[in-house]
Chains A and B, each alone.
Chain A
């Protein structure tokens, strides 16, 4: 049981690490939003699965309720985070920010 939990949580941490590196390394505004939006869904999902399993060690109605609440977090994050990313990109397009191309890469 513990091993499964550790695998899930380290999987989530790996994704968070990749996303964080992506936010720093990506060349412009839009491509930086891409890892930022990706992070919240898959990494949060896998970490919450790990935490919910760990919480169910002592199975009872109370711990089950807490696990369901944890999954509610995933539900709302996966609903709100892509929408927020979409909104920010939309606002960037409306404000007239050009996307990055390889030719303009300087400095």
Chain B
């Protein structure tokens, strides 16, 4: 059986390799990809959309539908992670650490965690004493990382960047908080419900802007119809502004989904302990 599988894998690989022989050469000016669409994008993207970075113009405007459903796919990824991994059963064993003395209490067979004062800290099997250097440096760095994430989102139509990258950077700044302190610190600050709402709101913002274009009398995702809503804009780059709104939606959704996936995986769905 394994031999049979090996033969199938080899045959498939050989077929794929055979198929690549038909591809046009790297950078061939006569290849189909560079004959029709690419030239149009390079020549007309700035005039059509007003966005200087035509990668963003292609991704968020010419192929707006594609990006919208990509965002929806990411949302579904977060949803699947939640549905598969989330475990609402309470743990029966709880550990508490008396902070001044370091004594550890192990409470067995209690369904609810005890209410503890400031002298006791929660503890779990992965607990390591948080390092002062790491904590301090991460506290300094996290706000800068978040500002940079917003810069990347906002600069999507001028320079490399955009919603996906910015959202990932923002999410990883919060994951850094969970790594440098512990997971409880993050979960206490960013509630699970808020994350769920953010993930949905990001996709909704994208689809909402697209639907707003339809309400204003254009096609779905036809940003040029949004012009009456932005009367102070005199540069005819209304499509770039629409793209910015869409990118913000993507950023919010990606940030929330990153956190949902991280928290569910490291804590095995219990949201209580982990890295």
Binding site for B on A (CB under 8 A): 76, 79-80, 83, 86-87, 90, 94
Contact = CB atoms under 8 A, between A and B. Distances in A.
Contacts of B131: 86-87, 90
Task: State the main secondary structure of chain B at its contact with A.
Answer: helix
Contacts of A83: 133-134, 137-138
Contacts, number: 19
15 contacts: A76-B141, A76-B144, A79-B137, A79-B140, A79-B141, A80-B137, A83-B134, A86-B131, A86-B133, A86-B134, A87-B131, A87-B134, A90-B131, A90-B134, A94-B128
A83 B141 CA distance: 11
Interface string B113-131: 0000000000000001001
A37 to B, nearest CB: 13
Interface in B100-152: 128, 131, 133-134, 137-138, 140-141, 144
Interface of B: 128, 131, 133-134, 137-138, 140-141, 144
Task: State the main secondary structure of chain A at its contact with B.
Answer: helix
Contacts of B137: 79-80, 83
B176 to A, nearest CB: 10
A83 B137 CA distance: 7
Nearest to A87: B134
A94 B140 CA distance: 25
Contacts of A79: 137, 140-141
A82 B139 CA distance: 15
